[in-house]
Amino acid sequence: MLFPHMGKMLEKLLASGQRCAILGMLQHNHTVVLRDRNMTQRISRAAGYGLAAVAYVAKNSKDGPVMSMEIAKAYDLPLAFLLKIMQQMVMANILMSKRGPRGGFTMARPAKDISMLEIIEAADGPFVQMLEMAEITHEAPFAKGIEQVCHEAINKARDRFQKARLSRLIS
């Protein structure tokens, strides 16, 4: 598995009450697909790398900063892309970075204060429903119903990701 820590995190998240299953992690795309009866939501490669990197730092930064190269090697990730994502985590106040020979990344806040949603949104932007069925269908009567179901499904996923604390997922 490319992301052993992330796989465990997602398994714990999904086993905790959601009727979801991980459909797969595509080797080249690295997209995790979560699915239940009401929705399919893709978590981007960037968010997956962010989840893996933050989990790795949380588990390994007790003795000092973790270098990005260490994370890239551990999960066979492209270093340049990983660095961009880790900088997004710094801007979101999830990680802190320190330059220099003893530099690297540490947690900006305790893992118990960081949600899975924060990490996903730091990488991908807001986790929202973007389907505009009324516009697509020129205001067809069924469009509002479809939009409502999608909106409810996204809100349930947002709530679940918000409740999933990094500290519990990495323990």
Instruction: State the residue for tokens 């991980």.
Output: 22
Structure-block tokens of residue 46: 């960037």
Cβ-proximal residues to 77 (8 Å cutoff; 6+ apart), any chain: 49, 52, 71
117-152 residue pLDDT tens: 999 999 998 887 777 888 888 888 888 888 888 889
22 φ/ψ angles, rounded to the nearest 5 degrees: -80, 120
Dihedral sign for Cα atoms in the order 70, 83, 157, 108: positive
Residue partners of 132: CB distance under 8 A and separation at least 6: 147
Which burial class, exposed, middle or buried, applies to 76 when counting CB atoms under 10 A from its CB (0-12, 13-18, 19+)? exposed
Residue type, 79: L
Please state, in angstroms and rounded to a whole number, the distance separating the CA atoms of residues 60 and 144. 47
pLDDT in tens, 87-125: 999 999 999 999 988 899 999 999 999 999 999 999 998
Q: What is the mean pLDDT of the chain?
A: 80
Of 96, 115, 104, 91, which is closest to residue 167 (Cα–Cα)?
115
* Domains assigned to the chain: 4-165 (1.10.10.10)
Among residues of the chain, what percentage have pLDDT more than 70? 75
Q: Residue 38: pLDDT above 50? A: no
The candidate with the shortest Cα–Cα distance to 120, out of 9, 27, 8, 19, is: 9
